[in-house]
Amino acid sequence: MSGPAPIRVLDFGQVMAGPLAGRLMADVGAEVIKIETPEGDSMRGRPPLRDGHSAYFGTLNAGKRSVVLDLKTDEGRRDAFALALTADVVIENFRPGVMARLGLGYEALSAANPRLIYCAISGFGQQGEGAKRPAYAPMIHAASGLDLALMDFSPGAERPAPTGMFYADVMAAVYAWGAIQTALFERERTGKGQSVDVALMDSLISMMIYEVQEAQFPQARKRHVYIPVKTSDGFVIVVPLSGKNFAAMLSVLGAPEWGDDPRFATPAGREANWAEIMRHVEGWTASRSSDACEQLFMAAGVPCSRYRTVSEALADPVSVERGIVGTVEDGAGTFSVPNPPFRLSQTDAQVRRMIPALGEGTAEILGALTSAHEH
């Protein structure tokens, strides 16, 4: 006996947030059909490139099929609409209103397919003034308060740090994925689909648990932050939070007299004077390697980690044992991408191997539509 048909996802996503939500659907077994223009998703040209194939694109789109549709033509829109009638989920991250103008918005598709779950990802939501704004992750990082909050953690910083990692896109993709699961579960109960509206701005604001409260209830003292301390060849972070941790750290340091300072006698006192404590600690770590510091502190029961590169983190035996990355394949060969950061005991949750070539599924998937219509 064959099992139930997989959830079919029509992924109109482009660049990052939409495609990553679609990839997470593929990771848990959905059939994800990526709709691309004849030129393909722009991420196909983004480095790192190997023999013309983008590993960046591959990370975001592994496990999908690719169907080329020109939504600027009547035929392309007609085929997209027909595909949506066969879908359980639509994901898109165009600017609000674009899909509706193409005749592919939630109202039009849900009228024809009432079980459809339609997930739209945008910068500021689908309605109101914000829907009119362009929205790229670096703008959201600036607009949300995140960048200034991070700047506030760095004494002496004169401007916010440059943006290189697009947290807003990743957070929105993960929230979209979770909201889609909720909508699928609700459909099991009611038989009805619904629209899902995910905003990058909301996603980043939700990440700032303390800062949202501090904005309402300003504190006399700045928030406690953890500080890197210099070693002979890099940095470590030392986190002696409890009294036991602090005593163990002093023992490793040779029980220096500054450890008896009454300011450091309580957790609240240590937190208030953290920078001063770390200045003393750095006097000890600066002449030792990061590895030595980490090993000595951890052996004594003091939470500590050296600062590692991404390459080092991936090669860590713990990462390897966990299966933190999986192997995927495109026209240039195989490489590793992060697996979903969860494991399920009954569901195979891992990145699927094949990355779609542009339009590789067009004939087969549209052909199946035509065949079904004829029958």
Q: Structural domain boundaries of the chain?
A: 8-209+324-374, 235-306
Indicate which residue of 88, 147, 169, 330 is catalytic.
Answer: 169
- What's the pLDDT band for 3 if we cut at 50, 70, 90? low
Comparing C-alpha atoms, which of 18, 24, 42 is closest to residue 93? 18
* Residues 31, 352: Cα–Cα separation, whole Å: 11
For 277-292, write each residue's pLDDT tens digit. Answer: 999 999 999 999 999 9
* Phi, psi dihedral angles at 222 (to 5 degrees): -60, 155
* Residues 24, 85: Cα–Cα separation, whole Å: 22
- What's the pLDDT band for 372 if we cut at 50, 70, 90? low
Question: Is residue 155's pLDDT more than 90?
Answer: no
Is 114:192 a contact under the CB 8 Å cutoff? Answer: yes
Range name among 25-34, 240-249, 332-341, 364-373 with the lowest pLDDT average: 364-373
Cross-strand pairs, 230 = 235
Q: How far is CA 70 from the centre of its chain?
A: 29
* Run of H or E residues at 28: none
Question: What would be the CATH architecture of the domain defined by 8-209+324-374?
Answer: 3-Layer(aba) Sandwich (3.40)
**Mean of per-residue pLDDT scores for the chain:** 95
Is 169 a known active-site residue? yes
For 83-136, write each residue's pLDDT tens digit. Answer: 999 999 999 999 999 999 999 999 999 999 999 999 999 999 999 988 888 889
What does the pLDDT read at residue 1?
46
Residue 195: half-sphere exposure toward Cβ, Cα within 13 Å: 16
